[in-house]
Each structure stands twice: as structure tokens, then as C-alpha cells.
Structure 1
């Protein structure tokens, strides 16, 4: 059963274009290349509220079209429109995720196993990108902690590293010089275990479109968008802070933590304000950026005593 976080939020049918919603089963079959996931059935969109405090925003979700055509996914191009144009080449079945490193139960999960590992929830999270734009997206998944607990991390495991697919045959920009491949990201263990960190398989009640990180990604709503690794093929538990793609490419611009912080500017632009995609016109007034993207009450204690300008 899919657990809907907030019954007062609009349904996917009210956000997704009508033609897409009414043909959900055909769309899901085309995207997933597999049987319709149980959580995506229309009747599954009703359920109980999650007990996770502060897990949602009451803001209006971004239009489905905007959320699926304005993306960062450099494996498919550096322009925001490139992923939607190019990601049709990505093959999401068969797909496995290897879990390894400092765990007592390392194993390889088939994507169908991951889909059934825990009850799905729909969570309406803000997404804030370092370039200064933001969205509000209903994601579908379950806490990453559900997976972590099953593989039993050892006491020496302090960080979780995510490795994404790097397939030149299906990802035309893999091999470009903009980044080292494969794309990697990482979280501290307490960040990975936080109930807001979502292992994500869908959005707007649909399976993830290829350009949004199909078939599985993470969503860490209090961090800038590039921290939420897409198209994950490996999760590794390690003792020391793992190298990450953007931190390696430009460490003076992209720190390991990358918490949304209006007081710490990117060297090339301010982080004090943001532009909501689909809402703000070119000359419209921008929104003030919220510390931790508005999730400070839920995650601020993770960084108590840290210098957040040094650990940016």
C-alpha cells in the first residue's frame, strides 16, 4: 500500500496532464518495461498519513511537464532540456543495485526486489538546485533507512556512497570532460538514516521518467539537488568521507555537505533567493531561500556545533 503523506495535497490526477493520468497503465508499462507496480495503481493513492513530522510542504506542486522537462542529468547533456530529449535511450530493465562495503549482509538487489522491500509513500518535497531554481515535487518511495537496516552496517561504517550508472551506450554524454565518471555522491550515515531521506522510484504517482533518475534514485530534500544521486547501481558503506563528483570537479564551489544555506553563496551566484520553476516569470520577484530548504526543524540537529560556512 502506498502511504500518502498529506491527504490535503492535490492528487497526481490533478497535477499530471489528464491524458497522461488516464493512460497511466500504458505509460508505466512503457517506462518501466515491466508489470505495473502495485503502488502505481490508482486505488493505491489513498492511504494513511505518514508519521514523519514536517515531511511535506503545503505549497502547490510544480506542474508535471515542468518537473520532467527542466532537469540536471549530465549523462544526457548539460542543457536543462537535454535529459528529456535524450534519456529515452536509457534501459531500466534489467536493473540491479549492488550493496557492498562495511555491511554484514552485502548483496545484489534486483529492482523488483527493491520495489517490494517496504511500503511506498508519496511525499511532497521541495527541490532546491544550486543554480538558484526550485520545484515542489510529489515523490514516491520509502525511507532509505529501510534498505540500510536490512544490510546491517558495521560499526566502522560512517558514510554511504552512491554510484550511478555510466553507460556510454545509453548515456550519450558519459565520457565528456565536465565530470569524472561514474557520477558519485555520498552522505554521512546519520543523514542517510534520517527519515526524510527517500529511496525513490516514482513521482506524481508515476514511475520515475528516465530524465528524473529512473529506475531508482535518492531524494535528500534539505540539500541541493545534485546530492540526490540518480539511476543508482551501487551503494557502498565506507569508513571515510567518499569523494563525490561535483566536489572533485570544483571543490571551491561544491562542498561535501551542500546543505541549502542562504548565508553561503556559490562563488558565481547568490543563494539568498530562488526562482520557482513554472511560477516565476523572468521579472517576477524571487523567493527567499529557506535554511535547509525549509527542513531546519527536522534536520538542523544533525549539524549542531558545525561551522556551516566551512562545511558547506
Structure 2
């Protein structure tokens, strides 16, 4: 069984012996998640679904004709970007870069998920041929996360990062230039997608250099507590249960990775990828993981909290 769910009070699994280069694809596929991303949708005026004496303020709806339900109501400026068009543009960019020798497609792998009752699609592209080695044995491959929504929960997004094979963790970066975010209004410039994927590929080794430097960036107890406190604060309230959970994760990781930012970073990404999801939200599990990764990205953009001793000026040279 895929090791994605476990109770907070249980003994933590060994995150450094979960996967191999041969079985990681099987481990990340989750049959509880709907993966039919190309269902038929269209835009309709809201007034067509209202009683004759009701007004719609020129609003419009995204209608799922296969499931026969309204996904969301939007204003008059909303422009529908269908999943087929969104992901065709990414595939075209990927194929073009492969043909030009920029992107190596050997062993490339895709994982799809439909969440929020069809309101959002999350597609992950994995490129094992683009691999960096962290430390003496850790291997991280290039990962792109592409998101499109019909429910207004997010814009069309392309995000670059990595995937740590040994523990099947998604590896995020705090660098904003490694993400593309386009609103559902006006005309989509698909050339942006090609540029973004190109940036991801050309920056991947630099990402690897940054992750490698985290191993050599010591983390004292005081600074570790600051990071854990930031991740455990909900609103203005500190959740002690979350603090204890992160503290146990870090204690487990530093046994094999050392007391450094790499161990803390992997503790955070292990939580994002593997930690318990409420049963009521299992169908949206990929969205939960995506939101967790965003919280890690936000943390990494706070220099007062996340401040590893690395050469920041040479972090991402394109």
C-alpha cells in the first residue's frame, strides 16, 4: 500500500527507505483520485438557469455537461480555459523542447488528479532523465506541477521543482520566477508556457546546487523552533499538536540527515506529501498536498525564518 496516510501519534516511518528508482512511479499513483481531466465543460449565461423573474448581473457559469452540474459562477470578464487547451499547450512546449534537445523525455511520467468536484485539475510531469544528486546518495528529479481551475480557486499555473525519489517527496522552491501564474481573463499567451518550461529545465541544476548547500547549512535548536513555530501557527494561534508533529518529523529526519536545513526541508516536504489527510477530504488529497507545498514556499520566502547559510547571490544563475 502506498505510504501516504498515517496517524500523528503512530511511530513515524523511515522516510529514507520508502522508494527505489524502479518502484517510485507505482508508489505515487493513488487510485482514490479521479484522473479523467478532459471532461466536457462550457460557459453558459447564468440567467438560462434562473427563474424568469430573477436577474443574473451578467454572471456566467462553468457547466460540466458530462456530470450535469454547475461547477462555478463567474463574472462577465471570466474567460474559460479548458483543460484540453491548457494541457495541450504544456504538452506542445514539452515536445518542442524535447525535439530541440533541451528536455530529455526518457522515462517521463505524468500523474493527474481532478479535485473540488471537477473545479480544479492538478497535473504533475516527472522527468527522471533530469536528475541531480544531493549529498552522497539522494537523487532528485525534475518535476513540473501544472494547475488549471474552473472554480476560480486559482489561476492557470506552471510551477517548477523537484521530486526526491527515495521518499517520494515533492521538492518545492521559494523562488517566484520559477512559477507562471495567468488569470482566466483575456487571451492566453501560450509562448509563456514554453518560456516557463525552458526556465525550469535550465534552472534545475541550480536548484540542485541550492538543495545540496542545505546539507552544509547547520540548524541550531532555536532556529529550528522558529521554523516549526511558523509552520504550526494557524492565524495567530500556535497549534501545539502541529508543533509536536513537525518536531517529531525533524527529530526523525536529522537522525540520518544531520542537524541542518536539508533535514528540516525534508521534514516539511514529507509532511506535505505523506502526512495524514482527513477522510472527508480524501478525494481532494492532491489539492491538500498542493496547498501544503504552497505553505512551505511561503515559509522559504521569509528570510527572518528560513535563512540557510548559502551563497544567495549565486543561487539561481540562468
Q: TM-score range, shorter-chain basis?
A: under 0.3
Compute the TM-score of the two structures, normalised by the length of structure 1: 0.26
Compute the TM-score of the two structures, normalised by the length of structure 2: 0.26
Higher Cα Rg, which structure: 2
Q: Which has the higher helix share?
A: 2
